[in-house]
């Protein structure tokens, strides 16, 4: 995977598989400290300490269809190659928090990629989850909480064409605003 947004999609899919009801995704870029941090915070089924300790090992996975899980180990290696880290905090029945951080300007740091596409895919693909997306560069922040939208729609599918257009525009323009505001500085 050559985009941070794709890795984010992969981690968030783990949260969905862990039957989380609420998932928050944060991407925070700080140009002053030169860091880029991504966090996925869920209230899913969580993992015990043993599993967390082994999770960066590619030969550990909870899947039963195949014995090797590579999502987290690859992202951890990518972060560590960019003066960063990947941390997992988790507790059974409480949830999981994954934080991954990079040196923002590091030459090997993957581009952020299509963040709006990742958010839209999660929102539409797992409508039973309450999603909160936050994207910040320095002091400029975009926050998207799907709860008021779902309430307003009262059961209308998120994949209705008018709704899709609205969601896509909201996500794309929100992310673009944050990025163009930071470029002006």
Partner 1 sequence: MDKIKSLEDLKRVREEALKKREAKIVTGQKQIIVGMGTVGIAAGARETLKAILDFIEKENLSDIVVRQTGNIGLDSWEPIVQVIIGDEPPVTYGKVTPDVACRIMKEHVMNHTVVKEYKIET
User: Which CB sits closer to partner 1, 111 or 148?
Assistant: 148
**Pairwise CA distance, residues 33 & 51, whole Å:** 32
Work out whether 165 is an interface residue with partner 1 (CB under 8 A): yes
Work out whether 45 is an interface residue with partner 1 (CB under 8 A): no
**Pairwise CA distance, residues 104 & 82, whole Å:** 8
Work out whether 144 is an interface residue with partner 1 (CB under 8 A): yes
Near partner 1 by CB under 8 A: residue from 52, 56, 153, 181? 153
End-to-end CA distance of the chain: 30
Tell which residue, 2, 4, 1, 18, has the closest CA to residue 126: 18
Near partner 1 by CB under 8 A: residue from 13, 30, 80, 172? 13
Bridge partners, 140 (sequence order): 137
- DSSP-based three-state secondary structure for 134: strand
Residue 144 Cα distances to 128, 132, 176, angstroms: 16, 6, 14
Near partner 1 by CB under 8 A: residue from 16, 45, 60, 132? 16
Size of the site for partner 1 (CB under 8 A): 44
Site for partner 1, rule CB under 8 A: 1, 6, 9-10, 13, 16-17, 63, 65-66, 69-71, 114, 117-118, 120-122, 124-127, 142-144, 148-149, 152-154, 156-157, 159-166, 168, 170, 174
């Amino acid at each position: 995977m050559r985009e941070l947004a794709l890795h984010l999609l992969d981690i968030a899919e783990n949260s969905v598989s862990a039957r989380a009801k609420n998932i928050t995704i944060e991407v925070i870029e700080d140009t002053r400290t030169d860091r880029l941090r991504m966090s996925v915070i869920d209230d899913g089924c969580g993992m015990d300490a043993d599993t967390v300790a082994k999770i960066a090992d590619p030969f550990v996975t909870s899947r039963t269809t195949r014995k090797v899980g590579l999502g987290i180990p690859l992202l951890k290696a990518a972060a560590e190659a960019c003066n960063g880290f990947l941390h997992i905090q988790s507790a059974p029945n409480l949830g999981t928090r994954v934080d991954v951080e990079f040196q923002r300007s590091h030459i090997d740091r993957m581009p952020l990629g299509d963040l709006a596409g990742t958010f839209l895919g999660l929102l539409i693909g797992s409508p039973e989850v309450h999603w909160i997306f936050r994207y910040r560069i320095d002091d400029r922040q975009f926050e998207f909480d799907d709860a008021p939208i779902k309430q307003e729609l009262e059961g209308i599918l998120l994949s209705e064409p008018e709704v899709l257009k609205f969601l896509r525009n909201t996500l794309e323009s929100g992310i673009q605003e944050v990025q163009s505001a930071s470029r002006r500085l």
